[in-house]
Amino acid sequence: MPGIVIVGAQWGDEGKGKATDWLGDRVDFCVRYSGGNNAGHTVVVGGETFTLHLLPSGILNPGCRCVIGNGVVIDPGVLYEELDGLAARGVHVEHPLVSAAAHIITPYHQTIDKVTERFLGKRRIGTTGRGIGPAYSDKVNRVGVRVQDLLDADLLAAKVAASLENKNQLLVKVFNRRPIEAGPIVEALLAYGERLRPHVVDAARVLNGALDAGEVVLFEGAQAHHLDVDHGTYPYVTSSNPTAGGACTGTGVGPTRIDRVVGIVKAYTTRVGEGPFPTELTDADGATLRARGNEYGATTGRPRRCGWFDPLVVRQAAMVNAFTDIFLTKLDVLTGFERIPVCVGYDVPGLGRVGEWPLTEAQVEAATPVYEDIPGWTEDISGARTFDELPDACRAYVLRLEALCGTRISGVGVGPGREQTIIRHDLL
């Protein structure tokens, strides 16, 4: 099973980092294919916590080679902050290979991200402020700066100047800000280019070669299905394609080389930032989920909005991404609830009761969830390592979720640690 894609099935923070790291010692390559340092992937190894934003989560596994694909937007300052940060903690990792075609996030992208959000006011997206949307806009507008441009001083200077031309008009005339100077940005990017130079590759060639040789390649998704610019809750989405198809366009590997698509699914639901969330809880149960699940953003520290499990959300993701397996995370967080409501449909004005993800933005906004109650359990499950060790009620909850999602649940997370995982079906 050499090509495996990991995709968040909800609105992010499902535990993709843990799932990737857990598979990491059995994979040869771990590759990020979309997003940038808007991601925050947490890996807990031997009681030590690592939060990775841009580096693939497989990097903590010696022997796993890491690649940053063309679909990623790279803030080189963040890349080196992460690499140097790990080194300062005594963790020596290999520099990832970086696609020559990946786009660069510059300081002007961050500025535009922030001023745009401020300008939008109530209509803001609640972005991470990392410059993600503006960097992808430049890519699509064909005025982006790519990794390969950092290796050529003249080309880089010309591209940055061209890109800043209309941005400065916008900053000065619309946003009432000072114009941004190209010189210092070019200088800083060239310095990063020198550090990057030995690691810049045709990532498609590297990864296809690895697959040809029978090596295992893990494509680590960032964000999630419902944050996908095409398939998510637009406009409250990120600006890339975290869905499984993005693994192909974001790395240069064809779809016939993907053997498994693993949906990472939290045993309840969370979301950071603005946008619709039908099963959101604003009551004490929501606060309890946040406290027990430590639901605070790994990137921005914002409290995550919390709610009950929503299989309509997950089934939609399972269909579009063709999940072969689900890895269910944070089951332990539900311990102690006497009853656990699970959404079984929505009441939508004008439509009545629906059992599938609605067609339009307005219908999702107006949806009221309908619940069934599943009995809870009180036993501590964080030490369980086999499915049979789980209490009866807990197993019943997992099996009900499996039936509602229509995809087999192959792994279950019962704690943040690498080893706190129950395997029901091996992925490799």
Catalytic residues: 13, 41
Paired strand residues for 50: 43
Beta strand pairing call for 325-329 and 260-266: parallel
Q: Residues 3, 16, 83, 289: which binds ligand GDP (CB under 6 A)?
A: 16
Out of ligand GDP, Mg ion, ligand IMO, none, which partner does residue 414 contact, by CB within 5 to 8 A per kind? ligand GDP
| For the chain, the helix, strand and coil percentages under 3-state DSSP, each to the nearest 5 | 40, 20, 40
CA quadruple 298, 301, 302, 307: dihedral sign:
positive
Binding of residue 138 to ligand GDP (CB under 6 A): no
Closer Cβ to ligand GDP, 333 or 367, answer by number: 333
307 interface partner picked from ligand GDP, ligand IMO, Mg ion, none, CB below 5 to 8 A per type: none
**159 or 305: whose CB is closer to ligand IMO?**
305
| Residue 126 binding target from Mg ion, ligand IMO, ligand GDP, none, CB below 5 to 8 Å by type | ligand IMO
Phi-psi region of 426 (alpha: psi -120 to 50; beta: other; left: phi over 0): beta
Using DSSP's 3-state secondary structure scheme, residue 124 falls into: coil
Choose one: 16-24, 104-112, 128-136, 227-235; the region binding ligand GDP (CB under 6 A).
16-24
156 or 328: CB nearest ligand GDP: 328
Whether residue 382 contacts residue 397, with contact meaning beta carbons closer than 8 Å, is answered with: no
Q: State which of residues 60, 83, 157, 333 lies at the interface with ligand GDP (CB under 6 A).
A: 333
Q: How far is the CB of 73 from ligand GDP (least distance, A)?
A: 17
298 vs 340, which CB is nearer to Mg ion? Answer: 298
Of the two residues 21 and 113, which places its CB atom closer to ligand GDP in the complex? Answer: 21
Decide if residue 113 touches ligand GDP (CB under 6 A).
no
Look at the block and give the residue holding tokens 């441009």: 149
Task: Report d(CA 159, CA 283) in Å as an integer.
Answer: 51
Residue ranges binding ligand IMO (CB under 6 A): 8, 12-13, 38-41, 125-128, 130, 132-133, 222-224, 227, 238-239, 272-273, 298
Q: How far is the CB of 370 from ligand GDP (least distance, A)?
A: 27
Q: Report CA-CA distances (Å) from 47 to 43, 91, 292, 347, 420.
A: 10, 14, 18, 44, 11
Phi-psi region of 289 (alpha: psi -120 to 50; beta: other; left: phi over 0): alpha
Q: How far apart are CA 383 and CA 404, in angstroms?
A: 26
Q: What is the x/- site pattern for Mg ion, positions 269-298, by CB under 5 A? A: -----------------------------x
Where b means 16+ CB within 10 Å and e means fewer, 265-298 reads bbbbbbbbbbbbbbbbbeeebbeebbebbebebb
416 binds, among Mg ion, ligand IMO, ligand GDP, none (CB under 5 to 8 A by kind): ligand GDP
Place of tokens 């992925």: 427
* Residue whose tokens read 């991200």: 113
Residue 223 interacts with, from ligand IMO, Mg ion, ligand GDP, none (CB under 5-8 Å by kind): ligand IMO
Q: Pattern 45-74, binding to ligand GDP, x per CB under 6 A?
A: ------------------------------
Query: For residue 308, which of 341, 277, 283, 284 has the smallest C-alpha distance?
Result: 341
Omega within 30 of 0 (cis) for the link into 341: no
The minimum distance between CB 123 and Mg ion, in angstroms, equals 24
Kind and range of the H or E run holding 211: helix 203-212
260 bridge partner residues = 4
416 binds ligand GDP (CB under 6 A): yes
133 contacts which partner out of ligand IMO, ligand GDP, Mg ion, none, CB within 5 to 8 A by kind?
A: ligand IMO
| Closest by Cα among 54, 93, 96, 48 to 77 | 54
Among 40, 96, 144, 193, binds ligand GDP (CB under 6 A): 40
- Judged by beta carbon, residue 364 or residue 414, the one nearer ligand GDP is 414
Residue 7 vs 157, nearer CB to ligand IMO: 7
Site for ligand GDP, rule CB under 6 A: 8, 12-18, 40-42, 44, 298, 329-330, 332-333, 413-416
Site for Mg ion, rule CB under 5 A: 13, 40, 298
